[in-house]
Structure formats: structure tokens, C-alpha cells
Amino acid sequence: MNYPNQKRVETFSIEINGQSCRAISGETVVDVARREGIEIPTLCHDTRLEPAGACRVCLVEVEGQRRLQPGCAWKVQPDMKVTTESTRIEKHRTILYSMYMSDHQLDESGLPVETGNGNQLRELCKTIDPLPLEPVNAPRAGRPEDVNPYIEFNPELCILCARCTRYCDEVEAVNAITLSNRGGETTIATAGNRGLLDTTCELCGGCIATCPTGALIEKKAPTNLVTLETEVTRSTCNFCGVGCQLDLHVHNDRVVKVTSPEPGETVNDGNLCVKGRFAYDFIHHEDRITTPLIRGADGELRPASWEEALEATANGLMAVKARHGADSLGFISSSRCTGEENYLMQKLSRAVFGTNNIHQCAAT
């Protein structure tokens, strides 16, 4: 058995581009470089996943190694020397990115398409003068028949970095999607190419969040998300008690998309579940109560002004208190509301109406 807490931690120094850096045993070249602010590009790397070394974007020179080595997977050793910028690496990046472009959907400007979910390949391709490679037209199959409401896969933007399948295996652990076929036919598939609703998928959308190129996108998000001006507000999820942090993307006073902060930043480490990521339609649902309502003598609810409603509320409670005493009132607060609101509710119960009959569904 592996006892992570008891592992001996050694620190030593390594050299990256001639600069001395502190490193901890078990770290990779990319781990150290990122901490030191040295940029090594990656596509298939996600701190939550075991390194795959598959995209080859992070190849660096390691002294003593004949071949270029993947920085995302290469473990640091005391006194090792790493080079991340050289003519060899530049040539490697130029050709590799160009090859990716020959296997990718491009926009009018000749760059990898941006779908509104971020396309890191596009950003990388901006850093090179690409070779004019003809498209390879790889026969990657998609799943056009998949009717699930949330997750869409566009094989033309897929670089087969397998972040989605590894996430589905290693983090969400439901193994709904897999790498399938071989060579140029390799694609992301489900068993029997079934729609996600007919698989073990729990619709967490983590595959979308980890996809570096936007090959996986949200069906719910507006199609013109790329050009849409949105404001992003950090907040806390309103479902279970984990306290996941959310970024609410807002356009025109409407929430149009919900994402997680980057891995490593918050309690949810970049993860969300189906409710946190997707179940936000209720916010702008037409069934929302939009005006105060008072039940009339006829037993029907009718719209009322705030003044009326507040007065009715205060008078109704005070009348019962007057008739039967403060402890004939009960205040049921909500574990769905904020701390401030719960504070005010118990203050209302205790200070305003004089009873400690204040509770919420504490055990649930």
C-alpha cells in the first residue's frame, strides 16, 4: 500500500535554461518550470491526471538524453539540466503545430477554430509560421446521433490528447468514453457508439472542461459564445454541501454558462457535477415567482405590492402573537439561503417576534 503522507520529500536544485530552480523529488519538469514562471507549452497535461506525454507539445532537451523528452512526464533528478528553448525545439514545435493544423478544422484566418470553449492549439499556432501542409482528412468518427442535452463532440477539433477519456476514468471514474479504433481512425467513443444518456456517463461535463481545443462543447451554451460579451462572476454552488466554486458567465443579465475555476485553486479542484455545471436553467425559468402574492378572501392568490405584502406579513404574525403568544409562531429558515439571511431570520424570530422557535432542516 502506498502511504502518500509518509513519502520522504527531498528537495534539490535543477537547471532550466541555465537558471537554477528548486525542485522536489517526484515532480516533473513542467511542475518545476510552471512554478518558476518558465513557460513550457502543453496540451494533454492536466494536473489531476497521470501524465500521458501524448501530445508531444512539451518536449524539451534533457542533458544526457539523445531524444527530446516530454516535460510533463519527465521526473526531475538532482542537478539535471533542461533546455526549453533552442533551434531544435523551435523546429520541433513549428512542424508539430503545423501537423496538428493539417488534422484540424481551421477558420478563415487559417487558424484552428475557436468554439467559445477555448482552443489552446489555436494560441500555440499563433506563435509559429506554419508549414503549408495539406489536410490529412483523418477518418475520425463522431457521434452525431447523440441526443444528450449537454455534451457535444466535434471530431474535427479533436487532437486525441485523451484528456477527456482519462478524466472520465481517473477523476470521475465512470468510464463512459474511451479512445477507440487505431491510427488515423482513432476517436473518442462510447460503447456501441451509443448516446451518452445510454452509458454510465453522469453528465458532469468534466470532459468539456478539460478539453484543450473545444472539440467538446456545451450544447446549452449559445452558439455565438465566441463573439458574445460576457461578464464572469465567481460564486458558490447552491446545491450540496461541498461548496464548489463556480464562475457564472453572464450576458445581458442572463447566466449563459457555468464553469469551474482552474484546478488547484478552490475546494472543487476544477471539478463540477451535473447539477453545478448544467442545472442553471431554473434561474431564468418562466415559473419564477416575480411579484408578491396575497391570498384573498376568495382563497385565490392575487398579485400585491411590496408595501401591501410586507404589511400583511407583519400584521398577520403580530396578530397571532397577540392572540396566542410568541411561542405560537414558528420560523423555518433555509439551509439554501445565505449565512446573512439565516442570521437575519433568527434575529427576526428572536428579536422581533420574541421566540426561539427557529429552525431549518438541520439534519439534511
Partner 1 sequence: MQKPNANREKIIELLEHAGGVTEDSVREVHEQTGIPEADIWGTGLFYTLLREPGQRIRLCDGLTCQMFGADSLAMELTEAGKAVERVSCLGQCDLAPASLDEAMELVTYAKHKTAISPPNELAMNLAGEVDLTYSALKKVKEMSPEDVIAALESSGLQGRGGAGFPAHFKWTSLRQQAETERYVICNADEAEPGTFKDRELILRQAHKMLEGLAIAAHVIEAKEIYIYIRGEYTNEYRAIERALEDSKAALQEFEFTIVKGHGAYICGEETALLESLEGKRGMPRLKPPYPTESGFRGKPSLIHNVETIACVPSIIHRGGDWFRSLGKTEAGSKLYCISGHVVAPGVYELPLGVSLDELVAAAGGYVGNPIAFSPGGASSGFLPIAERGLPLDYKHLADAGSMLGSAGVVVINDTVDMAKAAAWQLEFFERESCGQCAPCRIGTQYIRRQVDQFIQLGDPVTLAMTADVGWEMEEGSICGLGMVAAKPLESARKHFPDAFKTRD
Partner 2 sequence: MFGAGAMTNSIEEIRDSELMFVIGSNTTEAHPIIAMEMKRARQRGAKLIVADPRKIWLADMADLHLQLKPGTDVWLLSAMANVIIAEGLHDREFIEANTDGFDAMAEKVADYTPEKAEEVTGVPADDIRIAARLYATTKHAGIYYTLGITEHTHGTDNVYCLANLVLMTGHLGVRSAGMNPLRGQNNVQGANDAGATPIFYPGYQSVTDSKVREKFENAWGVPLSPDNGLNLNVMMKEMAVGNLKAVYVMGEDIVISEPNVTKVEEGLNRCEFVVCQEIFHNETTRFADVILPGACFAEKDGVFTNSDRRVQRVRKSVNPPGEAREDWKILCDVARSAGYPMPEYEDAGEVFSEYASLTPKIAGISHERLEESISGLQWPCPDETHPGTPTLHIDGPMIGRAPFQAVDYRPSAELPDNDYPLVLSTGRTLYHYNSATQTRRDAGPVAKQRNNFIEMHRSDARKLELKHGENVRVMSRRGEVEAEVWVSPRMRPGCIWMPMHFSESRANLLTNDAGDQVTGTGEYKVCAVRVEKMSNSKTVG
238-277 residues near partner 1, rule: CB under 8 A: none
Considering CB distances under 5 to 8 angstroms, the limit depending on partner class, which of partner 1, partner 2, none binds residue 234? partner 2
Pairing of β 81-83 and β 59-62: antiparallel
The interface region with partner 2, picked from 67-75, 88-96, 128-136, 240-248 by CB under 8 A, is 240-248
Instruction: Using the minimum distance from each CB to partner 2, give the nearer residue, 139 or 316.
Output: 316
Q: Which among 197, 212, 116 has a CA at the least distance from the CA of 150? A: 197
| Nearest approach, Cβ of residue 191 and partner 2 (Å) | 18
- CA-based diameter of the chain, in Å? 91
Considering CB distances under 5 to 8 angstroms, the limit depending on partner class, which of partner 1, partner 2, none binds residue 100? partner 1
Contact 264, 241 (CB under 8 A): no
233/258 Cα distance (integer angstroms): 10
Q: Find the binding residues for partner 1 in span 91-120 (CB under 8 A).
A: 91-92, 95-96, 99-100, 102-103
C-alpha cell at 22: 528548486
Q: Find the binding residues for partner 1 in span 176-235 (CB under 8 A).
A: 176-186, 189-192, 194, 199-200
Q: Find the binding residues for partner 2 in span 285-344 (CB under 8 A).
A: 285, 287-295, 301, 306, 309-314, 316-321, 323-324, 326-344
Q: Say which residues have a Cβ less than 8 Å from residue 269's Cβ, sequence separation at least 6.
A: 48, 263
Go through 249-275 and write b for each residue having 16 or more CB atoms within 10 A of its CB, e for each that does not.
Answer: beeeeebbbbbbbebeebebbbbbbee
Considering CB distances under 5 to 8 angstroms, the limit depending on partner class, which of partner 1, partner 2, none binds residue 245? partner 2
195/219 Cα distance (integer angstroms): 14
* Binding residues with partner 1: total (CB under 8 A): 53
Distances (CA, A) of 264 to 201, 235, 260, 261: 24, 16, 11, 9
Q: Find the binding residues for partner 1 in span 119-148 (CB under 8 A).
A: 131-134, 136, 138
Say how many Å lie between the first and final Cα of the chain, rounded. Answer: 36
347 interacts with partner 2 by CB under 8 A: yes
145 interacts with partner 2 by CB under 8 A: no
Which residues is 228 bridged to in the sheet? none
Pairing of β 69-70 and β 231-236: unpaired
Instruction: Using the minimum distance from each CB to partner 1, give the nearer residue, 51 or 270.
Output: 51
Considering CB distances under 5 to 8 angstroms, the limit depending on partner class, which of partner 1, partner 2, none binds residue 240? partner 2
C-alpha cell at 191: 460503447
Q: State the burial class of residue 284 (Cβ atoms within 10 Å of its Cβ: 0-12, 13-18, 19+).
A: exposed
Q: Find the binding residues for partner 2 in span 164-183 (CB under 8 A).
A: 170-173
Residues that bind partner 1 (CB under 8 A): 51, 53-56, 59, 67-68, 70, 73, 75, 88, 91-92, 95-96, 99-100, 102-103, 131-134, 136, 138, 159-160, 162, 165, 169-170, 173-186, 189-192, 194, 199-200
